[in-house]
Amino acid sequence: MSFENLKGEVSTILEKEGLSVDERLLQVCTLLKEKISYYNWVGFYFVNGDKDELKLGPYVGAPTDHTIIPFGKGICGQVAVSNQNFVVPDVRAQDNYIACSIDVKAEIVVPLFKDGKNIGQIDIDSNTPDPFTEEDERFLEWVNEQVAEIL
């Protein structure tokens, strides 16, 4: 399925006002994992209140011990302070990386902005080496913009 077709499905989920925000985000994670073959773990992290740390939100994929990530730690913690997308073609080449599963080969983290503030991120792990392109970045930026609308 193309990213363009997926956008319609993401919008339909996010418009489900009868569901909580977390339920909608979980459905988005499920959709992306099911429809994009190289997305093997899909989740959202959000800034934990006024603390300098991220807290795991809705996700699909293998359970992770990393439910809290301090700012600056791992790929996620670095994105919390850099405000930039972080595409990792080969996780073994990263020094500041938090391993969740030995199957993971690559990762992409895209920050989520609300009113210009970096309040969280979408995090995708892939078991395929070097799978992410600029198309993934643009698509995930779009997803985060839509999510910000319902927060």
**Interface residues with ligand SME (CB under 6 A)?**
41, 64, 66, 69, 74-77, 97-98, 100, 107, 123, 125
Pairing of strands 41-47, 53-60: antiparallel
Give residue 15's region: left, alpha or beta (phi > 0; psi -120 to 50): alpha
Least distance from C-beta 65 to ligand SME, angstroms? 9
CB-wise, 91 or 147, nearer to ligand SME?
91
In angstroms, give the least distance from the CB of 118 to ligand SME. 15
State the nearest-atom distance from the C-beta of 7 to ligand SME, in Å: 24
Q: Considering the complex, state which of residue 19 and residue 71 has its C-beta at the smaller distance from ligand SME.
A: 71
Which of 136, 150, 149, 146 lies closest to 42, judged by CA? 136
The token pair at 97 is 């990386």
Cβ-proximal residue to ligand SME, closest one: 74
Nearer to ligand SME, 26 or 100 (CB): 100
Instruction: Give which of 79, 110, 81 is closest to 94, Cα–Cα.
Output: 79
DSSP-derived 3-state class of residue 61: coil
